[in-house]
Chain A
Amino acid sequence: MIKKQWLLAGTSLLLAGSLAACSSADENTEANGETAAASGQTKLVYWSIDRHDSDFIEQKISEYEGLHPEIDIELKVMAENYAQSVDIAFSSKQAPDILRVDTGNVPTWVKKGYLESFDSYMSEEMKSRFENVLINEKNTVEGKVYTLPNIGQFWRLIYNVDLFEQAGITEPPTTLAEMVEDAKKITEAGKSSGAYGFAGNFKSSSGFERIAYPITTLSKNTGTEGFDFQTGQFDFGMYKEVAEALRQIEQDGSMLPGSESLDIDPLRAQFAQGKIGMYFNHSVEPSVYKTQFPTEVRWAAALPPTIDGTQNGASQVIAGSYLAMSKDSEHKEEAWKFIEWLYSDEVQVAYQEGGYGVSVIPSVAAVAKAPDIPGIEHFLPTSYDGIYPATPIVITEGRLEGMKKVDVFNRYIFGGGDLDKELEDLNARYNAALEKAKAAGDTTIEAQPDFDAGALQKSLADK
């Protein structure tokens, strides 16, 4: 009996020990905080999701700590499910002082009470540097600033010059019809080496968007992300031509087999091996091919083709949000000073010149040189790039019933069907969800009858 009790007690202790082990990370953080406090330092915790620039940020943190010995900054580069990690951190009162925020999360995180507005902290000089690039529900919510932009994703058609030449094509396509035709020619010429004309990472929920958004925003002047700013309603008909072109590419056999289950990294690996003629992605690609997938392939990038060759809108640049400050932070002044320094021209110019991204801050873009990375020249801002107002897509999909747009388009591209009927159903479901979101007060985005995406041309560069 006694022996059994000891066994039970031992097992209980072991279990209790394992539970304690689960919480060790927090204890460490607390212990670090105490050490910082003991040495008279203020500890700031900074969460990021950007792995590609973590070396640069670490270096800048050391620099800042050198300038301000009273500050100790801990950078944590988070993995996937970042939004969930942030939710858990705030609900358990362990939120970081400074955190990276994605554009679509800004209104939600403000409503959840996570973010502190920058308004009372920003100097007049800083306000004037950013006043022309602030966007409602990307940077501001109900007139208050919660984050500022730094870099933008500039979207291009990326193509293998060798495969184009092998197929007798001298220029990248400028229309959808040419894109379909070129994909066919490249596949025919590349059959012996297993090369295909076109690929997309359709496994990802952004697979279709990566192709459709750049083409459509440059072709049409009404909106983006399926949202027509002129009517204030969703109209997925704007992607009809792109969906039909991709269906044609698939039926022609010019699409890399398995594209429907492809992620972006396997796609890049295949492109680096010379198996893909063209695909769409943004300004991170040059550094990817420099470090992650070094390649012998001669590649280049061009502005997205348009539906009929005319550029009525502006190719959507994804930009708007970067750093935010926690409402729960006990060191807001100190956190703000660091945020302000990271947003300074000095740091942001070094960021662009180091090749970590292309800046959309006007004062930085004016003086920063192009980074020394092969291929980046194709991704620098042109007169045909523009930052769009925020759309209510994220908040709408939170109330959407039935299949999301990405699955509907993928089903059509790889399986066919009645596209008009699908589009009608998509519009009805998305607009019903939008109405619910509006009724619940989740979004204040309204129609802008005079919106013209063509007016966004030349907003980021003159040429």
Chain B
Amino acid sequence: MNQAKRQINAWTFVAPSLILTLIFGVYPIFWALKYMFYDYQGFGEPLYIGLDNFERLFRDKEFWHSVVNTFIYAGGKLLITLPLSFILAVILNRALKGRQLLRAIYFLPTVISASVMAIVFYVIFNSYNGMVNQLLVGSGIVSAPIDWLGPKYALLTAIIIAIWGAVGNYMLLFIAGLQNIPEDLYEAASLDGAGPLRKMWSITVPMLGPVLQMIIMLAITVSLKGYESIMVLTEGGPYGKTEVMYLYLYKLFFPVSSGGTSIQQFGYGSAVGFATAVIVGLITLIYFYVSKKLNDIY
């Protein structure tokens, strides 16, 4: 096969996905980049307003409140999810009877839709007849039902649900990483008299370095962008207490309002979309810089 033919073959295969990516991936980005300088509600002539949308963004307390909520939500989720899924992965990577079944059980939440999950958790956590409260009150741990979806605890409840949904997924990624570590390293360490903790710290963690870096990066971006279960569970309420960045953004494009009557804010939404992308991008960059060491150890 000559070079030209090879090129044609390669481009033939690449072309469909490239065209679709350009249409559905790249074009909307340029669309948003344009409209963030416009006042546009989806009808009438878009009005060029320069940087007005960004001025509004900087004084928009609701948006910055949603950014803070996002950090609490993502931070809380990651702090529990990553260590927990790592420990589970280490346990389920061993020759344990029924480990395949356990892996499947832990992974199950990943394949259930976030919205369905949120509805089920609403039934479990609601204050008036939720199972969690019935258990807590029934066993005498608390005297009155806890308002899990109220202003005080709603974000915590959202974090608990997020952890439940994510642990299995990251566990599986960790297992994939663990299985790439050559067994003879552990054997050699055992001959040198290393205990389980020593092996974990001196072999498992360093050897997992690059995989760990990718898993944490994925976890950070996914957590910062997560909003689906919160949308179903609380719609960002009560009064903005569980509003996260991407839910705030979603509502500007697909407003939730009484009777289904509402107007999109495409112009301002595009500006918020740009800002959220910059925030997530910056955090990812900082993370890459800080986590360089993880990659070097290998």
Q: Which segment of A241-249, A373-381, A401-409 sits at the interface?
A: A401-409
- Contact across chains for B13 and A258 when beta carbons are under 8 A apart: no
Complex CA distance for A168 and B50, rounded to whole angstroms = 64
Complex CA distance for A15 and B15, rounded to whole angstroms = 13
- Contact across chains for B60 and A83 when beta carbons are under 8 A apart: no
Contacting B at CB under 8 A, from A183-212, are 194, 202-206, 209
Q: Which segment of A101-109, A229-237, A285-293 sits at the interface?
A: A101-109
Which bucket holds chain B's interface residue count?
Answer: 35 or more
Complex CA distance for A12 and B20, rounded to whole angstroms = 13
Check A451 for interface membership: any CB of B closer than 8 A: no
Complex CA distance for A382 and B122, rounded to whole angstroms = 39
Check B228 for interface membership: any CB of A closer than 8 A: no
With A83-B260, A401-B56: A258-B126 Cβ-Cβ less than 8 Å: yes
- Contact across chains for B44 and A394 when beta carbons are under 8 A apart: no
**B-contact bits for A7-42, CB 8 A (1 contact / 0 none):** 011001001100100000000000000000000000
- Contact across chains for A410 and B237 when beta carbons are under 8 A apart: yes
Q: How far in angstroms is the closest Cβ of chain A from B142?
A: 13
- Contact across chains for A261 and B262 when beta carbons are under 8 A apart: no
Check A260 for interface membership: any CB of B closer than 8 A: yes
Name the prevailing secondary structure of the B interface residues: loop
User: Across the interface, which residues of A come within 8 angstroms of B262, CB to CB?
Assistant: 83, 104, 394, 397-398
User: Across the interface, which residues of B come within 8 angstroms of A407, CB to CB?
Assistant: 237, 239-240
Q: How far in angstroms is the closest Cβ of chain B from A415?
A: 6
Contacting A at CB under 8 A, from B216-267, are 233-235, 237-240, 254-265
Q: How far in angstroms is the closest Cβ of chain A from B47?
A: 7
- Contact across chains for B60 and A206 when beta carbons are under 8 A apart: no
Complex CA distance for A410 and B261, rounded to whole angstroms = 20
Q: How far in angstroms is the closest Cβ of chain A from B219?
A: 27
- Contact across chains for A112 and B42 when beta carbons are under 8 A apart: yes
User: Across the interface, which residues of B come within 8 angstroms of A394, CB to CB?
Assistant: 257, 261-263
User: Across the interface, which residues of B come within 8 angstroms of A82, CB to CB?
Assistant: 260
Contacting A at CB under 8 A, from B140-191, are 145, 147, 149-151, 154
Rank and list the top 6 A-B pairs by shortest CB-CB distance, nearest first.
Answer: A104-B261, A398-B263, A258-B127, A206-B258, A261-B149, A411-B239
16 other contacts beyond A257-B147, A258-B145, A411-B240, with CB at 8 A cut-off? A83-B260, A102-B259, A203-B238, A205-B258, A260-B147, A260-B151, A261-B127, A394-B262, A398-B41, A398-B264, A399-B265, A403-B240, A407-B240, A414-B238, A440-B39, A441-B44
- What are 15 contact pairs spanning A and B, CB under 8 A? A9-B13, A16-B16, A102-B259, A113-B43, A202-B237, A257-B128, A261-B147, A261-B149, A261-B233, A275-B128, A399-B41, A407-B237, A410-B239, A411-B239, A441-B44
